[in-house]
Chain A
Amino acid sequence: MRPADLPAPLPAAPHDDAYDPYDAERPLLARCGCGGDHAPQQHNGLAALRAAQQPGPATPSVQRADGSTDPEALGRRFIEASLVKALFPHEPVRRAFLRAVGRRSAMAAIASVLPAGALTSLQAMAQEKKPLEKKELKIGFIPITCASPLIMAHPLGFYRQQGLEVSLMKTAGWALIRDKIMNREYDATHFLSPMPLAISLGLGSQAMPMNVATIQNINGQAIVLANKHKNNRDPKNWKGFKFAIPFEHSIHNFLLRYYLAEHGIHPDTDVQLRVTPPAEMVANLRAGNIDGFLGPDPFNQRAVFDEVGFIHILSREIWDGHPCCAFGVPTAFIESNPNSFAALYRAVLTAAAMARQPKDRELIAKVISPAQYLNQPEGVLTQVLTGKFADGLGNVRNVPERADFDPVPWQSMAVWMLTQMKRWGYLKGEVNYKQVAEKVFLITEAKKHMKELGQPVPEGAYKKFKVLGKEFDPARPDDYLKGFAISKAA
């Protein structure tokens, strides 16, 4: 009666899986996961659930699946198949149901009635089994070393490995990145890490739910001053200085303001902060229009290389391990393309893990320097990424952790950024710091994917850290905010 030998797996389901309970086009062959010839009841005690089941005839495809899949995964899938079988004892009913509602809705509906304990793993596996909703993705980036993982994943083939066809779109500025992701011209993008918080809160734009999937890089910025200030390195004397920053909602802005304020300089009244694209920072420094900038690499090193400025301090000397850029997506993209998003996640995390390795840094400098990516001299990028660099004062410094690539989107960092937004008047009124941080920074997702990729997964979500020697307690952001001498917050 039943077609015993189905020829080949259907194109929609790439896994040759005889136990796939969500496939309306083929019969559910729930046999024992161990591959033995006994009934499954004897094997795993699911007798009650499988009371109505009538074991189908053995088919070659079952044996193939038995041989090629690891027993544990196969076992779990078998349990899921058995559960579905129990819900739909009558085979034509199951298949009619699936045809009517579709695979995903069926999965969600079944998940809502199955015992909770079994579900997480089953759902996670079901996610992986599903095909990518969107294979051709457009990802925006700004040509700076902060975007290294996102960029290197392209020439090194990490996107293709996940079945994605990614076009990396070089973009002229952060405001344009914001506009293009909000217009849905880009599917995902390189962000300054405070930007998704600002966009989600509707600061400087309409509000649109945005997520940080990973932090792209940590450290990797610097305060660069014009050569004429070589003998004026005490921030207390910097009244009247003009500084360039890349964007208002940037860690650069917050770090520079923090640094100046700690030295008694009010960033709003004592100095001028100008939003300037990085390439123009170097040109403005050369022309004498600005006294310095806190900007992204490679432009710090480029200023040294072009002999127009020197590195005053690295940003890691303000906050070691601070986040800088992030990889983000609109929440709506995740909801409508969960599998493509997961694939993208895996690609970027793989790249980040590679970028962390000091031994790979020279290769990375090589692959991201061509004109279609950073368009910078390779030697400058090597200095930035390896941390062995000329500082513009005649010294060769060796700081291997000058730039690093820890992808964990710590929610405590989001809380810190929100305190600074509030401190400088970008964000007004009551803020539920934790709620915003948890909505925007996807640390649970990141950890899940890191675990799947076999990467070390850290504990917790609210890592503590110090900024200029002062500890930040993410549990008490308001007290922290009150502790500053220079602040615009009420």
Chain B
Amino acid sequence: MNTPPTRAERLKSTLLSLLLLALLLAIWHLATLKPAALPAPAAATLTPEQIEYARLMGKDPATLAAASSGSGAVSGKSGFPTLGQMAGALRENLSRPFYDNGPNDKGLGLQLAHSLGRVALGYGIAALVAIPLGFVIGMSPLLWRALDPFIQVLKPISPLAWMPLALYTIKDSDVSGIFVIFICSIWPMLINTAFGVAGVRRDWLNVARTLEVPPLRRAFEVILPAAAPTILTGMRISMGIAWLVIVAAEMLVGGTGIGYFVWNEWNNLSLPNMIVAIGVIGVVGMGLDALFGRLQRAVTYVD
């Protein structure tokens, strides 16, 4: 194992991360910099029809010169947003995360809560199925070999492929979303649990057998602790997949959730809001992963 980083090393890596972020933002800023404002034709030289046309195109001829100085005031345009527009969108979304204007317009926080709820449900059911089943498969090489082809075929199927099928058969979009999370996040947990259980050291099992430990007690007090790190690795991968799937599922099904939020802003061709939402998805995903990372460390043992 690597030695844990010293304080100085940690500081250095943090500084480097911040530097990279600053560099990234600088590139963004330069890339979205508007070309120097052309000398705007004086309003007096425009015919009334040209003025009307400019107004309909969302450009007020009187303030054309002022707007082009780049304050991000030209709203509604769907060009790639500047950092100023991004900051505005971020502020607006984070300042009122829990507003609720009916079924189609809710704040980012509420949408996130809906998504997390769905993920918790789908992932929870997957864990309830995968871990016991993984245990059984791990203990029986015969069953493992028999089920392996099915697992290998079902594992790589994309959530987008499951979705229409689920909608057609389940006939309920909410349940379909949860089903898709379930079916996509079950496999890493199942395989890792089986792998962990099958890999428990023979010596330990033999000792338990010699001491005549009853099977249930053997499962809970010998195999489970021994396989726990592997099982948690599977759960961590599954959580990542569940969070990945929710956005796709909600973009398809609509209604509520962070995926629906992205879709709704896409429908308005509003890139700043979409990018804010994408950032939030990333941060929440990181948080979930960190949570499982901590759990994993808690059960890791050194032999």
Contacts and interface: CB of A to CB of B under 8 A. Distances in A.
Interface of A: 143, 167-172, 175-176, 179-180, 182-185, 277-280, 282-283, 286, 302, 304-307, 370-373, 375-377, 379-380, 383, 388-390, 394-396
Nearest to B260: A172
B76 A373 contact: no
Given A185-B172, A279-B266, A279-B269, A377 B58 contact: yes
Contacts of A278: 267
Contacts of B35: none
5 contacts: A172-B254, A277-B267, A278-B267, A282-B269, A395-B49
Contacts of B75: 377
Interface in B87-128: 101-105
B254 A396 contact: no
Contacts of A389: 56
B269 A307 contact: no
Contacts of A279: 266-269
A306 B104 contact: no
Interface in B252-271: 252-255, 260, 263-270
Given A176-B252, A282-B269, A379-B58, A168 B105 contact: no
B78 A306 contact: yes
B264 A375 contact: yes
A63 B105 CA distance: 51
Give the interface centre of A168, A183, A277 by most chain B CB atoms within 10 Å. A183
A183 B75 CA distance: 39
A379 B254 contact: no
Nearest to A301: B56
B151 interface: no
B53 A170 contact: no
Contacts of A168: 102-104
B172 A390 contact: no
Given A171-B254, A185-B172, A370 B56 contact: no
Contact of A390 (B57, B79, B253): B57
A379 B55 CA distance: 9
B167 A179 contact: yes
Given A170-B264, A282-B269, A394-B53, A372 B254 contact: no
Given A377-B58, A379-B76, 10 more contacts: A170-B103, A180-B173, A185-B173, A279-B266, A282-B78, A283-B78, A283-B269, A370-B105, A375-B265, A396-B56
B77 interface: yes
B267 A395 contact: no
B95 to A, nearest CB: 15
Nearest to A279: B267
A184 B173 CA distance: 11
Give the interface centre of A278, A376, A388 by most chain B CB atoms within 10 Å. A376
B220 interface: no
Contacts of B251: 172
Contacts of B103: 167-170, 372
A171 B173 CA distance: 11
Which A-B residue pairs are the 10 nearest by beta carbons?
A: A372-B105, A183-B171, A390-B56, A372-B104, A377-B76, A170-B104, A375-B268, A172-B254, A371-B105, A279-B267
Nearest to B48: A396
Interface string B229-270: 000000000000000000000011111000010011111111
A169 B260 CA distance: 12
B52 interface: yes
Contacts of A380: 76
Contacts of A185: 171-173
Contact of A176 (B53, B77, B171, B254): B254
B76 A370 contact: no
A176 B253 contact: yes
Given A170-B254, A377-B76, A380-B76, A306 B269 contact: yes
Contacts of A373: 104
A177 to B, nearest CB: 10
Contacts of A171: 254
Contacts of A176: 167, 173, 252-254
B263 A172 contact: yes
B10 to A, nearest CB: 42
Interface string B16-56: 00000000000000000000000000000000010011001
A382 B252 CA distance: 29
B168 interface: yes
Contacts of A184: 171
A262 B186 CA distance: 54
B11 to A, nearest CB: 43
A249 to B, nearest CB: 17
Given A172-B252, A279-B269, A396-B49, A379 B105 contact: no
Contacts of B265: 375
A182 B170 CA distance: 12
Nearest to A394: B53
A282 B260 CA distance: 19
A370 B268 CA distance: 11
A262 to B, nearest CB: 31
B53 A396 contact: yes
Interface in B53-82: 53, 56-58, 75-79
Contact of A375 (B52, B102, B167, B267): B267
B177 to A, nearest CB: 12
Given A179-B168, A396-B52, A371 B101 contact: yes
A175 B160 CA distance: 14
B27 to A, nearest CB: 21
